[in-house]
Structure 1
Amino acid sequence: MGAAPVIEDRLAALLAGLEAGHALRRTRVHDPDDPGVLNVSSNDYLGLSRHPLVVERACAFARRWGAGSGSSRLICGTLPPHRDLEERLAAFKGTEAALVFGPGFTANSSMLAALLDRQVLGAEPLVFADKLNHASMHEGCRLAGVKQLRYRHLDLDHLEALLAKHAHLPGPRFIVSETVFSMDGDQADVPALAALAARHGAFLYLDEAH
């Protein structure tokens, strides 16, 4: 008996078990034109993707630049609209530069992997992270190969205790948190986090996706 039928049987049994436990997920087709539905479960809860001005600009850009870049940005996929958008964002935020990502998951995982690179930092970083941070932030730390010191959700006393406990260790310190936590909607005390970071000489990394 070959391996393929055995694997197929195991997969069939697994699917049957998920079905029996009402845990088998299926996609639902959502009609955005349905007047009886108000969708507050997506990242488009303000409805900007269907705003007439946004749609008009998207069509104009597609006619001018095509429906896609055709390549990763690192190779030859950076188009003038990318450059212009990033320059305008940097000016708006008052920063030296800006970098636009597609998914927020990619932004966090890529940025943290780069920021926490021990070869760049010259030492092993200490990362103090809220336990309920988004999976993309944990993935960025994993890609960087660093261990997180995770404090109880929104518990700044616990965070300060961890900072004090590890004060003797060398290496740059990073406090990593969301501002508005996407699953429950609760908010971090950003001024207090900033004060803690300043007091302990730590960098503060905030995910403001929501």
Structure 2
Amino acid sequence: MATMQKQPDTHSDEPLVSLSSEDVVQAFDSAREKAADWAARRAPQFPGDNSVTSHMVGKLGEVAVANWLVDQGYEVDRVFLDPAREGECDVAIQRPGPPRRIDVKSWQERGFNHNAGYVWAKQLPYIDKSDLLLWVRTPDLPGDTGQESFDPASLGALVVTLVGWSFTTELHTLGKAVPESSTTDGLEIVRDHWHPMSELLGASLDPTFDPGGGD
């Protein structure tokens, strides 16, 4: 289970979440399973790198967000751990009525400032199944290593930063089109439009709150 780093305000604008070595191994196992599944399906509908390292960045973010929400007292459905639910949200918060669905987007430290806030065009149909987007920064991991050579235990515990969040609807109202080819555009929400994490635990997660079509 994650524990919040000691800091003056545990609901700060960029909370730090400490992941245990067990959390890191869980993220690796989930990433390896996802990479194998994509390779077996030869899934051309999914863009980007299919290395275990690439998937692990995403899994570290998902584990961190789920653990942090549990630490805040929420009941959490860790959708990302179930390969059969591929294409759904990553994390769902249980509450009266429909769950609040969250998609977690994570980048390593070295590429965060350049890439954060960007969503591939082919990911957009999946993103639209969520209510909220959480933007996460992970530590830098080893390069594009293979499934057999990567040793997650060597990383030990890691600290992941929850940087901000957006309503999914804002991806379309505030997002800037980024051409990927002659026919498709991705969308990017620049950081100036992100909401601080200190605002996430208020109205956005309230059972009666509707961000405008999210439910």
TM-score (norm 1): 0.26
Report the structure, 1 or 2, having the larger strand content: 2
Pick the structure with more helix per residue: 1
> TM-score, normalised to structure 2's length?
0.25
Which structure has the greater CA radius of gyration? Answer: 1
